[in-house]
Amino acid sequence: MSETINIGDPSRNYCMFYSASALINHELEREFGTVIAEAKNKLIVVDDEIKREHVYLIPKTKLDHYGDQQMYFDIAESSLKDLEI
């Protein structure tokens, strides 16, 4: 259940999600934000949907699995800073 819309540049399509929780998939599952959209082969994750202090652009290849409106990423918490935009 996603809706495709164009934002800005017509060559870039964004597919909006219904606010899926983003979790780091390690021994301790920790929520670090909400997946709000995808752009080409990357997922856009915000730490707070209103303040958006931290916005991450995460390659889809880092997505381990998903279900029940949750997306589990196979990344180290320390590497989140490298993915921040």
The answer for residues whose C-beta is within 8 angstroms of residue 4's C-beta and 6 or more apart is: 13, 14, 15, 16
pTM of the model: 0.73
Structure tokens at 8: 């800005």
Going from N- to C-terminal start, the domains of the chain cover 3-83
How far is the C-alpha of 85 from the C-alpha of 79, rounded, in Å?
13
Per-residue model confidence as pLDDT tens digits over 26-47: 667 889 999 998 888 899 999 8
Structure tokens at 3: 């809706």
How far is the C-alpha of 57 from the C-alpha of 12, rounded, in Å?
15
Per-residue model confidence as pLDDT tens digits over 46-74: 987 666 788 999 999 999 998 888 999 99
